[in-house]
Amino acid sequence: MNNQHLQTLFKQGLAWRGRESVQRPGAYLDTGYETLNARLHEQGWPQGGLIEVFSSAQHHVEWMLYFPALRTLCERHPNGHIALLNPPFVPCAEAWAQQNLPLDQFLLVEATKPKDILMSFRELAKAKGCIALLLWQPQLNYAALRQCQLALQHQQGLYVMFNHDIKLKQASPSILKLKVSPQPYNLKIQILKQRGTLHNPQNAQAVNIATNWATLSSTFTPLNFSEDAHSGAVVKHSF
């Protein structure tokens, strides 16, 4: 590769020098958390590129992280669609309605074979009506991930892939790589890779974002495990 080719890659933001922090041209989306925005090059979630979020198999923190951004997207694009590819469980419609998320804009897709997952990801990513695409446990190898990333090159949506942290060391063409672990009342986020910056995963500094979990315990009612204690229920729903 000669110098001219290298310069072209630098200009397009496809390659960067290790210790230089480069602002990548492109759209971004407010994460909803100031501390996290401050640590991201684009001051928000980068759009048009693959974001990988790693967490323990026992943890699911995706909505805490992405509810604010998705709400913003839904407000900006009332006719857009958000695709959930292989969600691990059924979304709780009542909780989403509480969050004022328009359920009609969400589409759930279940694909089992890696070939089908890849095809579905590419089809949805290319669709102009798809404003966000969230994928769980993709079981995709590097070549497939590269195909996903290439499919997103000219897109402007939010594309997130949730994965187990056992795959943390697997090479990936994603433009942003995060590790998320829940704390008592907040989320600890480690930025492992960010396009335009050299990160050392060993020394990745953590960002803590406040969650609304604290509000759950603020209404805590002391419990006694005798059967009669339940008569003091804080909320009771029945006919």
Which residues here bind another protein, judged by CB under 8 A?
A: 56, 58-64, 79, 81, 87-98, 102-104, 106-111, 116, 119-120, 123-124, 126-130, 182-184, 213, 215-217, 219-221, 223, 225, 227, 230, 233-239
Task: Rank residues 97 and 198 by Cβ distance to another protein and give the closer one.
Answer: 97
Task: Rank residues 19 and 154 by Cβ distance to another protein and give the closer one.
Answer: 154
Q: How far is the CB of 111 from another protein (least distance, A)?
A: 6
Q: What phi, psi does 162 have (nearest 5°)?
A: -100, 130
| CA pair distance 148, 174, nearest whole angstrom | 9
Q: Is 44 helix (H, G, I), strand (E, B) or coil?
A: coil
User: Which among 213, 217, 211, 212 has a CA at the least distance from the CA of 189?
Assistant: 211
Angle between helices 142-151 and 114-126 (to 10 degrees): 10
Task: Rank residues 43 and 147 by Cβ distance to another protein and give the closer one.
Answer: 147
Q: Is 154 helix (H, G, I), strand (E, B) or coil?
A: coil
Task: Rank residues 200 and 217 by Cβ distance to another protein and give the closer one.
Answer: 217
Q: How far is the CB of 1 from another protein (least distance, A)?
A: 36
Task: Rank residues 200 and 238 by Cβ distance to another protein and give the closer one.
Answer: 238
* Element of type H or E holding 72: helix 62-76
Q: How far is the CB of 8 from another protein (least distance, A)?
A: 31
Number of Cβ within a 10 Å radius of residue 98 = 9
| CA pair distance 137, 134, nearest whole angstrom | 10
Q: How far is the CB of 121 from another protein (least distance, A)?
A: 11
| CA pair distance 148, 134, nearest whole angstrom | 12
What are the tokens at 81?
């669609």
Q: How far is the CB of 20 from another protein (least distance, A)?
A: 36
Q: How far is the CB of 136 from another protein (least distance, A)?
A: 11
Task: Rank residues 140 and 175 by Cβ distance to another protein and give the closer one.
Answer: 140
